[in-house]
Amino acid sequence: DTYAKELDTEVLIVGAGFGGIYLMHKLRQLGFKSKIYEAGKELGGIWHWNCYPGARVDSMIPIYEYSFPEIYEDWTWSVKYPGFVELRKYFEHVDKKLDIKKDVAFDTRVVGAQFDRLSGKWIVKTEDDRTAKSRYLLLATGFAAKRHFPDWMSIAKFQGEIHHSSFWPDTGVDVKGKRVAVVGTGSTGVQIAQETAKDAASVTVFQRTPNLALPMHQGPVSKENQDKSRYPELFKHRMTTFAGFQYDFIKKRTFDDSPEEREAFFEERFDKGGFEFWLATYDDMLFDEKANDEAYNFWAKKTRARISDPRKRDILAPLTPPHPFGTKRPSLEQNYYEMLDKPENDVVDIKKTPIVEVTETGIKTEDGKIREFDVIALATGFDSVTGGMKNMGLKDVDGVELAEKWKMGTWSYLGMSCAGFPNMFFLYGPQGPTAFSNGPSCVECQGDWIVDALKKLKDEDIKYIDTTREAEETWRQKVTELSDKTLFPKAASWYMGANIPGKRREQLNYAGGIPMYEKECREVLDNFDGFITA
């Protein structure tokens, strides 16, 4: 029984989102006995947690789904960028096809895990005191499993409603005629502001850094888009692109084109909507500051033209770049700028006048001003990429917490394993292509590697596998070097661990693109280079 007080299994997977489900299905096909522990009440991972107004995916479908024909053959999306309701239905469909839930223990939060050398098994503890023993531990906990709350919070004082985006009540919050505050302007903040503005009396966005958001061009899916005969090719193709999308950077540099050609090219990419202006542009955009300035200036020109209020225009789309374009995750917006331009809505520059506290009635900024609200949405993000893994009581073979090991920085091998944590693999986490990729593409790339590794271990009767510290050190250097060639280190982003006070600033993602990553991981699989096996 999956909920047994003492569970004994071959593989324990933590997390029932895209990653966990993928691993479960593939491992079952190979005859592994697998179970999933999931903290939430349903399948879907982030789409189980995210039900804030406007929550939707920024990858255009059908790129944002599994490549399994049995799942896509009779599944149709209604819009190009589905919202959380439709994504939850997708996971129900996945379950109907793959019968995943029977092996998932929901409401099961892992609070401790350590590998026991004697039995050669992981001993995993849950919050409600159940125990699982498992030969392998696979973490599919995603990159946003630990919420980030700002430290100025005196939340309890506030008399209205206040919610973090990933803790939004499932029943929704009635914002009709209410004064809404949104703190944070990541992808989440942009979506909440845009959506609540449809009903609210007013929306005020508290912005520390402008989101260099791109037009989404939401709309119904085309017939061609849902033409299943294209899918096998499409899913193969997405693994050949840098970020696992349907498009890629073009093989041309920014200044190879004349200013007129460049303008026309930018215009065409921008007008397409989606991430094309970010991920299907000149291939030096994320490497060369001058090239990047061209992209930024184009973005600013287009965006500024949408905002008539000069004060708001300078806050939302300043003439000088707040950071190189694309080094923080651009959101896809629908009418964000027109909405904020309206007189009833506002944007407050909290870099200039930081928030000092939440009062009984609203939010107080450093200039002494108190703005009053009925609802406050905290879209302040997550202790991204490493936070979830550091927050589940994982200990190495000697009893040292992973959180301790990673205090001075993150070490992993291939972005899938850690020295001292034998028989454990993780996906969609630190030092993999995680934040620089379309989720399902990254999951399938790393998931296949993990499944093949487990198969090989079983076939060769290897009972124990651990990474060496040298292999970790080399991998960390690689991740850093790849990143140092780019402009990513120039922005204070969650990619770089810079969004959490006190967190070490370092690149947390592999910036070489999926094809190169896959090649590197595949090369070492034959001989388990960089691992110790027994």
Please, which of residues 178-207 interact with ligand NA7 by CB under 6 A? 183-189
Nearer Cβ to ligand NA7 (112/150):
150
Query: Which is nearer to ligand NA7, 326 or 420 (by Cβ)?
Result: 326
The window from 37-45, 131-139, 290-298, 378-386 that contacts ligand NA7 (CB under 6 A) reads: 378-386
Best CA proximity match to 158, nearest among 349, 370, 345? 370
What is the full DSSP assignment across 474-527? HHHHHHHHHHHTSSGGGS--GGGTTTSTT------S-TT-HHHHHHHHHHHHTT
Q: Is residue 486 a contact partner of residue 287, using CB atoms and an 8 Å limit?
A: yes
In whole angstroms, the minimum distance from the beta carbon of 71 to ligand NA7 comes to 23
- Name the residue among 169, 186, 196, 152 with its Cα closest to residue 374: 196
Pick the piece of the chain touching ligand NA7 (CB under 6 A) from 2-10, 177-185, 454-462, 524-532.
Answer: 177-185
Q: Which of 88, 178, 208, 395 binds ligand NA7 (CB under 6 A)?
A: 208
226 burial class (0-12, 13-18, 19+ CB within 10 angstroms)? middle
At closest approach, how far in Å is the CB of 189 from ligand NA7?
A: 6
Selected binder of ligand NA7 within 20, 274, 362, 381 (CB under 6 A): 381
Kindly tell me which of 20 and 420 has the beta carbon lying closer to ligand NA7. 20
Using CB under 6 A, pick the residue from 178, 262, 302, 329 that binds ligand NA7.
Answer: 329
Q: Which is nearer to ligand NA7, 135 or 208 (CB)?
A: 208
Contacting range for ligand NA7; rule: CB under 6 A; set: 36-44, 220-228, 374-382, 402-410: 374-382
**Cβ neighbours of 347 (radius 10 Å):** 24
State the minimum distance, in angstroms, from the CB of residue 273 to ligand NA7: 17
Cβ(69)–Cβ(35) below 8 Å: no
- What's the closest the beta carbon of residue 31 comes to ligand NA7, in angstroms? 35
Please, what is the minimum distance in Å from the beta carbon of residue 222 to ligand NA7?
A: 25
Contact in structure between 3 and 104 (CB atoms under 8 Å):
no
The least distance separating ligand NA7 from the CB of residue 508, rounded to whole angstroms, comes to 12
With tokens 């029977």, the residue in question is: 102
Structure tokens at 224: 């061609």
The CA distance from 45 to 450, in Å, is 19
Stretch that binds ligand NA7, among 279-287, 364-372, 373-381, 526-534 (CB under 6 A): 373-381
Binding-site size, ligand NA7 (CB under 6 A): 20
Q: Are 361 and 159 in contact (CB under 8 A)?
A: yes
Taking the complex as a whole, the smallest distance from the CB of residue 124 to ligand NA7 amounts, in Å, to 27
Residue type, 292: N
Are 36 and 9 in contact by the 8 Å Cβ rule? The answer is no
HSE (CB half, 13 Å, CA atoms) of 212?
A: 27
Q: Of the two residues 98 and 511, which places its CB atom closer to ligand NA7 in the complex?
A: 511
| Closest distance to ligand NA7 from the beta carbon of 57 (Å) | 9
Residue 153, Ramachandran bin (φ over 0: left; ψ between -120 and 50: alpha; else beta): beta
Site string for ligand NA7, 138-167 (x = CB under 6 A): ------x-----x--------------x--
Residue, CB closest to ligand NA7: 186
Give dist(CA 309, CA 290) in Å, integer: 29
Shortest CB 152 distance to ligand NA7, Å: 6
Residue 494 CB, shortest distance to ligand NA7, in Å, is: 5
Q: Does residue 332 bind ligand NA7 (CB under 6 A)?
A: no
Shortest reach from residue 355's CB to ligand NA7, in Å = 6
Element (H, E) at 358: strand 355-358
Stretch that binds ligand NA7, among 23-31, 120-128, 363-371, 377-385 (CB under 6 A): 377-385
Site for ligand NA7 in 454-513 (CB under 6 A): 494, 499
Query: Please, are residues 339 and 328 in contact by the beta-carbon 8 Å criterion?
Result: no
Q: Candidates 101-109, 225-233, 292-300, 375-383 — which segment interacts with ligand NA7 by CB under 6 A? A: 375-383
**Got the DSSP string for 62-107?**
TSSS---HHHHTT---SBSS-BHHHHHHHHHHHHHHH--GGGEE-S
Q: Work out how close the CB of 317 gets to ligand NA7 at its nearest, in angstroms, rounded to a whole number.
A: 15
| Whole-angstrom distance, CA of residue 199 vs CA of residue 180 | 10
| Residue 144 or 214 having the CB closest to ligand NA7 | 144
Q: Is 425 helix (H, G, I), strand (E, B) or coil?
A: strand
- Binding residues vs ligand NA7 (CB under 6 A): 144, 150, 165, 183-189, 208-209, 329, 350, 355, 379-381, 494, 499
